[in-house]
Structure 1
Amino acid sequence: MPLFLAMLRNETAASPEKRAAALAGLAAYQRAPRPKPRPEKPVLARSGRAVLRDYGGHGQPVVFVPSLINPPLVLDLARGNSLLRWLSRQGVRPLLVDWGNPTPDEAALDMNGHVEQLLLPLLRQLRRPPVLTGYCLGGTMAIAAAHAVETAGLVTIAAPWHFAGYGAALEGFAALWDQAYPTCEQLGLVPMEVLQAGFWQLDPRRTILKYERFGRLRADDPEARAFIALEDWANAGAPLTFGTGRQLFDDFLSADLPGRGRWEAAGTTVRPETLGMPMLSLVSTTDRIVPAASAARLGEVREMALGHVGMIVGGRARKAVWEPLAHWLTTLRRTR
């Protein structure tokens, strides 16, 4: 992890002892054994490199739209900690968008293209109008998709919309993109390391502390296994297409086109306040990745003091997010 090592060197507040402990934790994480990957869920629909995976269950189809950043499997992280598998037993039918891996040939494909060329064709293959549930940047794209296809409802979970709400962090994002732009343009892709640097600069001390703490855990501790599963997810992921990176940094983070009501996608201006469907927004008041000031707030809004990833896989996620979401979805089914 060269990026982590560079961050550790630059974190002046870390004492030599803390740096040594963090490095020991990093080494323990890298050496730790991993379970065999679970079989992938069957494909229900396909559009280019994107597929829709079927998690079973019965009732209202609910399409989960994950972010383009990091793999979609945070929604199905580990045995005993899977929102999608749990929901499949609660009277709904979860379906997961798997974006696949982009190639440099798709350099011009931006987020609009992901909505128009990949997501909407997947949704149009379903027999029933689904509820769209978007997590993080997937929620931003789900809002655009809901303008273009018949939808039974819309849920956003920690979805950025008012990008001006990032406040002082915007300057750091702009500097990062200025530095990375020439290389990314040449590659036709935005490597995961660029995005990781953006996340870590939001709170570098917290990143150091989590590895320091992991180094003190026993290898057979359930908390250690949970940490490994989550970090493997956070450190993985396909690159973004250059077009997606350019749109994210220039049109969203810099110009805030969505928040200003000026984002056009799928042939229309995306204005969520015009959507006439049941909507629910789950917002974290302690999120560093999508600060509360930046989050979409549509229809019924529920706030909670959980972190960005903790909303999905944390120890309090079931009570705070999973159960209220299942109740909202099953109630929606009964009232339609």
Structure 2
Amino acid sequence: MSPPPPPRRGPRPLPLHLGLAMARGMAAMAAIPPSGSGWTNWSAGWPRSKPAQAEAARIAAALAAGRHPPERFRAAVLSRLARDDAGMVTGIAAYRRHPWRRDMPEPPVLWQEGGSRLLDYGGDGPPLLVVPSLINRAWVLDLAPGHSMLRFLAGSGLRVLLLDWGWPGGTERGFSLTDYIAGRLERAMAALSGLGALLLAGYCMGGLLALAAAQRRPDRVRGLALLATPWDFHADGGQAARQAAALLPALEPLMAPSGTIPVDLLQTLFAGIDPFAIARKFRAFGRLDPASARAELFVALEDWLNDGVPLAAPVARECLGGWYARNEPARGQWHVAGAAVNPALWAGPTLVAIPRGDRIVPPDSARALAAALPEKTVLDVPAGHIGMAAGSGAQAALWRPLLDWAAGVPARGGGAVGL
């Protein structure tokens, strides 16, 4: 008998999300105008911010105008909070006991260095090297049957290869972005030199790495696809980016023991984008039929999200301090191996795929990159950041347009390749 699968740990970090739910309830109760006595008046002694005081006054006025008893309003709020919290816990429990487990055949390894591997998904046709983010596992692009961008492309006329960055070991924990780009990524590209010039596709943060590599080695790249790739980190005013960057001094002692930002800390930073999103989506999941395709896709994506990797501390400093705080890419001040990364210097054909529902990379941030590229095709993707790559509509929204674009990229010294 095979051992049971390991228990799911998500949503990570669970204490954070349970604490946020409790804080939401406390904030709601603190806004209720105090009246009566006993346990129903517990919020009266709590210090309140001016916005909370204003909200309490507004609620009190509305209750008085409608002649609604404050006790009934308070009871309704408590009932709603209890239902929401119970729904979230029910959804988390349903996720943790769900029988779905990822079962995808492992592709052959063509090259390996440290924790990084070059995986061969096969296929006949022009070679496409896919570069994922350093933060999450690469297998979101090979999620499950029917939800694998890599296997779809390999079966549709491309020779597909994936650079899986892997888990940062002792060597990688001292890596900078230059080490990853001018070192590991370029050596992976060199390992494929027998295939000729590559199509290079970068997803999210991987798009920035791919852009820098293409600019440095245009002899090895004939087309570049940038999928949900940020560029102007202050495109939306920069407040959220600066707030994230302001956390860097507090992160330093937390990075010191391992030389990385640990996975749960990274998940905490991402939770700051929408602190109550986890509660909402698990309440919704708890209402799904567990046997439905929608429920299985939810579990697959949550398993991926919770299977994160740490980020090397030098890279974290470059990203938070250089990208988020100082907006170095958009200002022409991001350097790799001593040279500025400038999209205007990349003269090859480029596909820029911008998901319109992206909450991780604001669309305006990606549009700024498209505007700086000389020869580009801009694809407006009707999906979100993750949905564009692995969602139920990803084939029509991104995979097929990416394939069509690749078919039109000229081969070196000739016309379009054709698929």
- Which category of TM-score, normalised to the shorter sequence, fits these structures? over 0.9
Residue aligned with 1:282, SS:
strand
Candidates 5, 15, 27, aligned match of 1:2? 15
Structure 1 residue matching 2:145: 3-state secondary structure = coil
Residue 382 (structure 2) pairs with residue 300 (structure 1): no
Unaligned runs of 5+ in 2: 1-13, 29-79
In structure 1, the partner of 2:239 is: 168
- Deviation at 1:198? 1.9
SS at match of 1:303: strand
What is the TM-score with the length of structure 1 in the denominator? 0.95
Q: For 2:330, what is the secondary structure of its paired residue?
A: coil
Contact 1:104 1:189 in 2 (8 A): no
Which residue is equivalent to 1:50? Answer: 116
The Cα shift of 1:226 comes to: 0.7
Listed one character per residue, the Cα deviations across residues 250-309 of structure 1 (whole Å, up to 9, x for unaligned) are 111111111111111144211011111111100122211000121131411122331100
Q: Deviation of residue 36 (structure 1)?
A: 5.3
Of 405, 409, 416, the residue aligned with 1:328 is 405
- The aligned residue for residue 314 of structure 2 is 243
Equivalent positions of 1:257-336 (< 5 A) are 257-295=328-366, 296-297=369-370, 298=373, 299-333=376-410, 334-335=415-416
**Are residue 38 (structure 1) and residue 104 (structure 2) matched?**
yes
Partner of residue 187 from structure 1, selected from 239, 243, 258 = 258
Of 226, 229, 243, 1:156 maps to: 226
Does the C-alpha gap of structure 1 residues 105 and 118 become closer, same or farther in structure 2, counting only changes over 3 Å?
A: closer
Q: Deviations over 1:145-190 (max 9, x none)?
A: 0022220110100011111225221243134433322111332011
Q: Is 1:96 aligned to 2:109, yes or no?
A: no
Instruction: For 1:78-97, list aligned pairs within 5 A.
Output: 78-97=144-163
Residue segments in structure 1 that go unaligned for 5+ positions in a row: none
- Residues 213-252 of structure 1 mapped to structure 2, 5 A cutoff: 213-252=284-323
Aligned partners of 2:363 and 2:225: how far apart in 1? 16
CA contact (8 A) 1:84 1:94 kept: yes
Alpha-carbon shift at residue 73 of structure 1 (Å): 0.7
Deviation at 1:62, TM superposition (A): 0.5
**Equivalent position amino acid for 2:209 in 1:** M
Greater shift after overlay, 70-79 or 27-36? Answer: 27-36
Match of 1:24, as an amino acid? T
Moved more, 18-27 or 106-115: 106-115
Over 3 Å counting, the alpha-carbon distance change for 1:254 and 1:83 in structure 2 is same
Does residue 63 of the first structure (1) align with residue 150 of the second (2)? no
C-alpha distance in 2, partners of 1:61/1:267? 29
Counterpart mapping for 1:108-123 below 5 A? 108-123=174-189
Identity %: 38
The match for 1:199 is 270
In structure 2, the CA distance between the partners of 1:57 and 1:303, relative to structure 1 (3 Å rule), is same
Q: How far off is 1:205 after superposition? A: 2.7
Question: Superposition pairs for residues 16-35 of structure 1, below 5 Å?
Answer: 16-35=82-101
**Equivalent-residue separation in structure 2 for 1:267 and 1:249 (angstroms):** 19
Q: RMSD of aligned C-alpha atoms?
A: 1.8
Query: Which residue number in structure 2 is paired with residue 129 of structure 1?
Result: 197
2-structure distance, mates of 1:23, 1:180 = 30
Paired positions, count = 336
Inter-partner Cα distance in structure 2 for 1:122 and 1:228: 32
Structure 1 letter corresponding to 2:141 = L
TM-score (norm 2): 0.76
Alpha-carbon contact 2:382-2:397 (below 8 Å) kept: no
Give the secondary structure class of the aligned counterpart of 2:331: coil
The structure whose Rg is larger is 2
Provide, for residues 111-137 of structure 1, a one-character-per-residue CA deviation record: whole Å limited to 9, x for no partner. Answer: 221112211100011111111100000
Q: Which string of whole-angstrom CA distances, capped at 9 and with x for unpartnered residues, describes residues 198-221 of structure 1?
A: 222111232211100111112211
Give the secondary-structure state (helix, strand or coil) at the position aligned to 1:196: helix
User: Which letter does structure 2 place at the counterpart of 1:263?
Assistant: W
Give the Cα separation in 1 of the matches to 2:173 and 2:184. Answer: 15
| Residue 225 to residue 142, structure 1, CA distance change in 2 (3 Å) | same
**More displaced stretch, 24-33 vs 180-189:** 180-189
Give 1:140's match in structure 2, choosing from 199, 208, 212: 208
Letter in 1 for 2:229: A
Q: 1:19 to 1:260 in 2, by over 3 A?
A: same
Rounded to whole Å, the distance in 2 between the matches of 1:105 and 1:54 is 24
2:123–2:159 contact (8 Å) kept in structure 1 = yes
Instruction: Summarize the Cα distance change of 1:169–1:202 in structure 2 as closer, same or farther, 3 Å threshold.
Output: same
CA-CA distance at 1:84 after TM superposition:
0.6
Kept in 2: contact 1:145–1:266 (CA 8 A) = no
Letter matched to residue 158 of structure 1: A
Report the Cα distance in structure 2 between the residues aligned to 1:304 and 1:223, rounded to whole angstroms.
Answer: 20
